[in-house]
Amino acid sequence: MDYQALAKKYDTPLYVYDFDQIAQNYNAIKSAFKARKSLIAYAVKANSNLSVLRLLANLGAGADCVSIGEVKRALLAGIPNYKIIFSGVGKRDDEIEEAIQKDILFLNIESEAESERIEEIAAKLGKRARISVRVNPDIDPKTHPYISTGLSANKFGVDIDTAKRIYLRAKNSPHLEPVGIHFHIGSQLTDLEPIKEASAKVAELAKALQKIDIDIKFFDVGGGLGIRYKDEETIEPYDYAQAILSTLSGTDMTIVCEPGRFIVGNAGVFLTRVLYEKRNKDKRFIIVDGAMNDLLRPSLYNAYHEIEIAGKSGDESKADVVGPVCESGDFFAKERLLPPTEPGDIVVVKSAGAYGFVMSSNYNTRPRPAEVAVERGEDRLIRERESFEYIIEKEVRFLV
Ligand code: LLP
């Protein structure tokens, strides 16, 4: 891909997504589960651009949403309601109501209190809400603590006994219909064993529930499949699917899988332009026009993203790549071996397709970057760069 040409055409900072790669990633995970009925419910939070969602809708994907806003995005992009699930540890009443009205596939419940609330709302609407319970299997996923979710010390899901109580209550309620069971132990998982262990634990519960006539149709294994940012050993989709399927023999539940990062992560790059270099004593800084407000992962998680200077190589020395925001945490890389740069050079920050643009903000009154899709060799704008006027629109009329 000609990053210099794209940067010239659309300006920087810029997100660029390879739509063919996204399609390939989706197909890889879909076919890994081909031995069974499956729904790949893409985790919209990873990259919620409408054109990305439209691409996935056309491939047959469903959507895993964590706000009613995401549900509405998915619908707008053409993902049908019967392929949409609504997860999240805290849902507002109005979100629950709208999700029930829109007749989505199911709501993932994360507490007893939430199941009662959903029951009340469904009763008020004269409906029966399809639900699934997120079980916290209390397993260490061995990933970054901020994105680890399957330990009882985390705020997510309910323990097995609580899950059972919720299912029993739902079974006897005219307003709740338990149809699924769910777990998600963390993100950027690179170790198969914890997934298998969690799946086995939750499968056992699903089987026990089926024995008492609670008809669990969907086995929702969450997302979390890791990608290679640097040199991580990643899990092959086939092995991932086999690990899960091996715990499900004797059942015919439909697999629901909620990958986000795996589908879009390596299909996106963030392009930013060198403003200048400077040295403070021995330290070399490459100052670029992108910042932590555009791509937060390095600042927030100390995440590693590979970096390349488009069209340059050789004579490398260590440098920090930093943005213009007035925080020391505003960096893309530290002590990275990079060739000499000149103003105007394009810095390519790799693996930025997931949790990149979606976590951006207007901090320092910086307009959010544009987003571009490249599909079968053609590039096109899929989100316009924000303007100053757009940023202030919601406040300027209150000026007195
Ligand atoms: N399902 C549930 C219930 C989740 O909580 C998540 C991610 C996913 C699916 C999708 O996980 P994935 O397949 O993308 O790993 N901002 C962080 C990641 C936060 C992930 C939160 N939950 C980052 O930049 O690494």
Tokens 């290679």, residue? 228
Strand 317-322, strand 129-134: pairing: unpaired
Q: Kindly report the protein residue whose alpha carbon is nearest to atom 19 of ligand 1.
A: 147
78-90 average pLDDT score: 96
- Whether 20 is in a domain gets the answer no
- Are 204 and 271 in a shared domain? no
Alpha-helical segments (H) within 216-260: 237-245
- pLDDT given for residue 146 in this prediction: 60
- Are 208 and 271 in a shared domain? no
- Please state the pTM of the whole predicted model: 0.96
Non-local CB neighbours of 266 within 8 Å, separated by 6+ positions: 21, 25, 227, 228, 350, 351, 353
- pLDDT given for residue 156 in this prediction: 80
- Whether 228 is in a domain gets the answer yes
Burial class (CB in 10 A: 0-12, 13-18, 19+), 310: middle
255-283 average pLDDT score: 97
The CATH number linked to 359 is 2.40.37.10
The CATH number linked to 200 is 3.20.20.10
- Whether 63 is in a domain gets the answer yes
- Judge whether 225 and 29 are in contact, CB under 8 Å: yes
Q: Which atom of ligand 1 is nearest to the CA of 188?
A: 15
What spacing in Å lies between the alpha carbon of 74 and ligand 1's midpoint?
A: 17
- Judge whether 44 and 21 are in contact, CB under 8 Å: no
DSSP 234-280: ---HHHHHHHHHTT-TT--PEEEE--SHHHHGGGEEEEEEEEEEEEE
pLDDT digits (tens, 9 = 90+) for 302-327: 999 999 999 999 999 999 999 999 99
* Chosen domain end from 214, 240, 259: 259
256-272 average pLDDT score: 98
- Are 343 and 381 in a shared domain? yes
- Whether 400 is in a domain gets the answer no
Number of domain units in the chain: 2
- pLDDT given for residue 157 in this prediction: 87
Q: 45 is in which domain, residue-wise?
A: 33-259
Confidence band, pLDDT 50/70/90 cuts, at residue 144: low
Phi, psi of 111 (to 5 degrees): -160, 165
Tokens 């029930």, residue? 100
- Are 177 and 255 in a shared domain? yes
Both tokens of residue 167?
Answer: 């299912």
239-258 average pLDDT score: 96
- Are 218 and 89 in a shared domain? yes
Amino acid letter, 169: R
pLDDT digits (tens, 9 = 90+) for 172-230: 999 999 999 999 999 999 999 999 999 999 999 999 999 999 999 999 999 999 999 99
Amino acid letter, 209: L
- Whether 22 is in a domain gets the answer no
pLDDT reading at 138 higher than 90: no
- Whether 40 is in a domain gets the answer yes
**Which of the 8 DSSP states describes residue 322?**
E
pLDDT reading at 68 higher than 80: yes
Choosing from 261, 262, 300 the residue with most ligand 1 atoms within 8 A of its CB, the one to mutate for a pocket test is: 261
- Whether 287 is in a domain gets the answer yes
pLDDT reading at 140 higher than 80: no
373-393 average pLDDT score: 98
- Are 103 and 182 in a shared domain? yes
- pLDDT given for residue 133 in this prediction: 97
Which protein residues touch ligand 1 with a CB less than 6 Å away? 43, 46, 64, 87, 147, 149, 184, 187-188, 222-225, 258-262, 297, 354-355
- pLDDT given for residue 353 in this prediction: 98
- Are 279 and 176 in a shared domain? no
Answer positive or negative: Cα dihedral of 42, 46, 51, 55. negative
* Chosen domain end from 240, 259, 278: 259
- Are 253 and 283 in a shared domain? no
- Are 194 and 238 in a shared domain? yes
pLDDT reading at 367 higher than 80: yes
Give catalytic status of residue 326 as yes or no: yes
Q: Which of 326, 396, 399, 400 is catalytic?
A: 326
- Are 211 and 297 in a shared domain? no
- Are 96 and 191 in a shared domain? yes
* Chosen domain end from 206, 228, 259: 259
- Whether 27 is in a domain gets the answer no
Answer positive or negative: Cα dihedral of 321, 325, 328, 329. negative
- Are 228 and 284 in a shared domain? no
Confidence band, pLDDT 50/70/90 cuts, at residue 362: very high
